[in-house]
Amino acid sequence: APATGIVKPLPPELFIPQGTNAETRWDAMRGQGYVTPADRFFVRNHVATPLIDVRTWRLKLWGTGLHRSPTEDRPVEFSYEDLLGMRAETVTAFIECTGNGRSLYTSQQGQRVSGTAWGLGAVGVAHWRGVRLATVLERAGLSTRAVDIMPRGLDAEYVDKGENLGRVRRPLPVAKALKDVLLAYEMNGAPLPPDHGFPVRLVVPSWVGIASVKWVGDVQVSDRPLFSPWNTRFYRLFGPDHPPEGSAPLTRMNVKSAFELAWDGTLAAGRTHVLHGRSWSGGGRVRSVAVSADGGRTWHRARTRGPHPARGWVRWELPWRPPAPGRYELLARATDDTGATQPVTAPYNTLGYLFGAIARHPVTVK
Ligand code: MTE
């Protein structure tokens, strides 16, 4: 049955008034199936999770990129039921925070960066079900003049160091919006949990996580390029290798890998372990994964396991018998089908985005 959930208000003691950032523990993915279960999926909220009543919720579309240019106060509207009544589609895709792996700029490269100090757990794959954004844009009267759309969340205004930046919103080129973007109302076969965007979120496959706006309330459709702090001040590369206004706004995520092991975990000596992990890329399908347990001197091709949808990740494994007790660094390097591979060093940028270097995963064998 399609999602019909109406969220019960959370008891006040469970209500977290600030934004929540919680990453997936990679050791908790060990033994899981292909997707990340919703209760283990990372959460990245700028402010508190809003609790939305689907009976009154409406998706509002407005702007100069629609026929007759409806205004913000007289938009084209769709109800939750309207969306459930449209042709549904399921997309298996990862969502990954652009700053995933940020703490490794410091721990591995000795560089100072600002932002949430994620390990490698700000990524997850789910089966998302919903309506193609293209369908809704067409029904709202998309004009050929449209160049950018800007979905906006219903969460509270975000105040950054005392400055009110307004509600989370990020422009998306119409070409991408029409290609493979979903207005999702289900995650892994159940209504979206509140933290992941109930009742409806965008899923923008392969792109920076900020594009996948949660709790969508309205979508501006414009015949001119749109801007918000989330494509000007954030989610560009800044630093010595970039112009003062930063790089172009970031779009696709890069290729990465992670072991399904606790960071700094322990393995028993004197036996063979099967090392498990996952690799993914916004550039395309991961073609191969190599693993090294001796600091990168020798590499072994890991055995990959399906399914392997283009926008998801690939699971892999490799048996390893530690030669002796001691400290080791496990390395995994994936290559995608565009030929992009994980470098030894990630190019520095002040906000610590896109850490795609080979992570040196510490373990102790004893
Ligand atoms: N949408 C809204 N409305 N508010 C937010 O804070 N965070 C973004 C994006 N969408 C955010 C949002 C960021 S930075 C990421 S990485 C993803 O949601 C995280 O999605 P998740 O919390 O479902 O894992």
Instruction: Report the Cα 324 to chain-centroid distance in Å.
Output: 38
Confidence at residue 19, expressed as pLDDT on a 0 to 100 scale: 78
CA of 150 from ligand 1 middle (Å) equals: 15
- Pairwise CA distance, residues 306 & 124, whole Å: 17
Distance 292 CA to ligand 1 centre (A): 33
Kind and range of the H or E element at 83? helix 80-84
Q: How far is CA 289 from CA 238, 279, 297, 302, in A?
A: 30, 8, 16, 6
Distance CA 262, CA 96 (A): 19
Q: What is the per-residue pLDDT for 11? A: 53
**pLDDT tens digits along 265-281:** 999 999 999 999 999 99
Instruction: Look at the block and give the residue holding tokens 């801007």.
Output: 227
284 phi-psi bin (left φ>0, alpha ψ -120 to 50, beta other): left
Whether 209 is in the pocket of ligand 1, judged by its Cβ within 6 Å, is yes
49 CB near ligand 1 (under 6 Å) = no
Q: Is the distance from the beta carbon of residue 170 to the nearest atom of ligand 1 less than 6 Å?
A: no
CATH architecture of 256-365: Sandwich (2.60)
pLDDT value for 16: 53
Atom of ligand 1 nearest to the CA of 208: 16
What sections of 85-228 are H helices per DSSP? 103-109, 133-139, 174-180
Helix or strand run (H / E) with residue 170: none
Q: Select from 165, 212, 233, 353 the residue to mutate for testing ligand 1; criterion: most ligand atoms less than 8 Å from CB.
A: 212
Q: Supply the pLDDT for residue 12.
A: 54
Structure-block tokens of residue 228? 């918000």
pLDDT band at 14 (very low <50, low <70, confident <90, very high): low
Mean pLDDT calculated for residue range 334-338 = 97
pLDDT score for 1: 28
> Is the minimum distance from the CB of 95 to ligand 1 under 6 angstroms?
yes
CA of 195 to the centre of ligand 1 (A): 9
Which of 208, 219, 167, 215 has its CA nearest to residue 192? 215
Closest CA to 172 of 146, 152, 149: 149
Can you read off the two tokens belonging to residue 323? 């030669």
Which residue's C-alpha comes closest to atom 19 of ligand 1? 44
Encode pLDDT of 185-218 as tens digits. Answer: 999 999 999 999 999 999 999 999 999 999 999 9
CATH code for the structural domain at 12-232? 3.90.420.10
Q: Which atom of ligand 1 is nearest to the CA of 98?
A: 16
Q: What's the DSSP call for residue 29?
A: G
Predicted interface score ipTM higher than 0.95: yes
**What pLDDT, on a 0 to 100 scale, did the predictor assign at position 3?**
36
Boundaries of every domain in the chain: 12-232, 256-365
Question: Above 70 in pLDDT, residue 2?
Answer: no
81 alpha-carbon distance from chain centroid? 27
CA of residue 197 to ligand 1 center, whole Å: 8
Residue 214 Cα to ligand 1 middle (Å): 6
Residues 39-81: tens digit of each pLDDT: 999 999 999 899 899 999 999 999 999 999 999 999 999 999 9
Contact 273, 320 (CB under 8 A): yes
Query: Mean pLDDT, to the nearest integer, of 95-102?
Result: 98
Q: Is the pLDDT of residue 18 over 80?
A: no
Residue 5, pLDDT score: 39
